[in-house]
Amino acid sequence: MRRRFWVFEIILLTLVLLGGVLWGLAIIRGRKMRLGSEPEIKQTMPPPPDWVEPDEEGEKE
C-alpha cells in the first residue's frame, strides 16, 4: 500500500512540476512576442501625425 502511494505521489508531483515549467515557458514566450510586436506598432504610429500636419498648415493658409 505504501509503495503504491509513493509511486502515485511521485507521478503527481512530476506532472505538476512539468505543468508549471511549461506554463512558465509559455508566459515568457508570450512576453517576448508582445515585446516583439510593440516596435511594429510604434513604427506604424508616426505616419498619422505627418498627415495631420499638412491639414494644420492648410487651415493656417
- The DSSP result for 3-25, as a single string, is HHHHHHHHHHHHHHHHHHHHHHH
Domain residue limits at 39: 2-60
The whole model's pTM is what?
0.45
Max alpha carbon distance in the chain (Å)? 91
The predicted-structure confidence for 1-45, as pLDDT tens digits, reads as follows 778 889 999 999 999 999 999 999 998 888 777 665 555 555 555
Say how many domains are in the chain: 1
What length is written for the chain?
A: 61
Reduced to 3 states (helix: H, G, I; strand: E, B; else coil), residue 17 is: helix
Nearest to 12 by CA among 2, 22, 1, 4: 4
Q: How far apart are CA 19 and CA 56, in angstroms?
A: 56
